[in-house]
Amino acid sequence: MITLYQFKHSAFCLKTRMALHAKKLNYRVEEVKPGIGQIEIFQISGQKQLPVLMDDNNQIINDSSNICEYIDKKNNNNPLFPKDPMHFIQSKMIEDWADTTMASFCKKALIKSALENPKLRSALLPEDSPRTIKGIMDNIPFKNFNKISNIILSNKNNLEFQKILESLSKSLVNEKFIIGDQLSIADISIASQLSLLKFPDSSGPTLTGEGCQEFINNPYLENLFIWRDNIEKYLFSASSQDI
């Protein structure tokens, strides 16, 4: 069976799980411990980042985009990439934007929120982290918080990024999918990165609905998170095939 090595709350690992579900492939998940667990990842894949996928013939593939392309080529059903050439190139460009620019903003926004919110900090630690470590993380006092968080993500960049997401949110009011009328890698890439701004149901009860308050409380983004939740339902609930 396919094995997915992952960090539970990584957006790139969620992207890969979404793609595996879209392709209706059976797989098992191996949770990797940050740090110590990455030694084994380095031994099997020659690099330490996740996700890493081990195929049923023991072939190893790393990087979410490589994995999505690999499983898509190997299985003809439910294509992740549109056939139409213009839609194909659009889906590739959106995937690249989500994996780079969007991923970097979402990560910074989450770090900023975690600095503000001790509960969020400890919820993000692996479930089997010792209680003492969770306790320490909860109680770290961040002095000069405003200065630190502004270095991580300036207010100007934050507002510009929110405007882009607001446009996306508006353009999805009457659309189920970003490109055409079928789910594609574009939807999967954007929806998975959004998990860092507002954790979805698939993050588990401790984190669901948590995240970056200024994004969560932005009324213009409400539709975007509803769209994301619908994509998750479509992919993760076995019986539901309609959004």
> Is residue 8 within the footprint of ligand GSH (CB under 6 A)?
no
Is residue 212 a contact partner of residue 112, using CB atoms and an 8 Å limit?
A: yes
> Is residue 49 within the footprint of ligand GSH (CB under 6 A)?
yes
Residue whose tokens read 């353009």 = 171
Among the residue ranges 63-71, 74-82, 130-138, 213-221, the one whose residues contact ligand GSH (CB under 6 A): 63-71
> Is residue 70 within the footprint of ligand GSH (CB under 6 A)?
no
CB of 38 to ligand GSH, least distance (A): 6
Binding residue for ligand GSH, selected from 50, 102, 190, 221, defined by CB under 6 A: 50
Stretch 87-126 residues interacting with ligand GSH (CB under 6 A): 99
Is residue 69 a contact partner of residue 79, using CB atoms and an 8 Å limit?
A: no
CB of 163 to ligand GSH, least distance (A): 25
CB of 58 to ligand GSH, least distance (A): 20
> Is residue 193 within the footprint of ligand GSH (CB under 6 A)?
no
**With CB under 6 A, what is the number of residues at the site for ligand GSH?**
12
List helix spans (H) across the chain.
11-22, 37-45, 64-74, 85-97, 103-116, 118-123, 131-139, 145-152, 155-171, 185-194, 213-216, 222-236
2-6 and 52-54 beta bridge pairing: antiparallel
Nearest CB to ligand GSH, comparing residues 12 and 215 = 12
> Is residue 7 within the footprint of ligand GSH (CB under 6 A)?
yes
Mapping DSSP to helix (H, G, I), strand (E, B) and coil, where does residue 62 land? Answer: strand
How far is residue 96 from each of residues 50, 114, 153, 231, measured CA to CA in Å? Answer: 17, 26, 21, 19
Binding residue for ligand GSH, selected from 45, 64, 91, 158, defined by CB under 6 A: 64
What are the phi and psi torsion angles at 213 (to 5°)? -55, -40
Binding residue for ligand GSH, selected from 4, 5, 10, 81, defined by CB under 6 A: 10
The 3-class SS string of 167-193 reads HHHHHCCCCCCCCCCCCCHHHHHHHHH
> Is residue 12 within the footprint of ligand GSH (CB under 6 A)?
yes
How far is residue 167 from each of residues 7, 105, 183, measured CA to CA in Å? Answer: 30, 16, 20
CB of 40 to ligand GSH, least distance (A): 13
- Report d(CA 2, CA 24) in Å as an integer: 12
> Is residue 157 within the footprint of ligand GSH (CB under 6 A)?
no
What is the binding site for ligand GSH (CB under 6 A)? 7, 10, 12, 38, 48-51, 63-65, 99
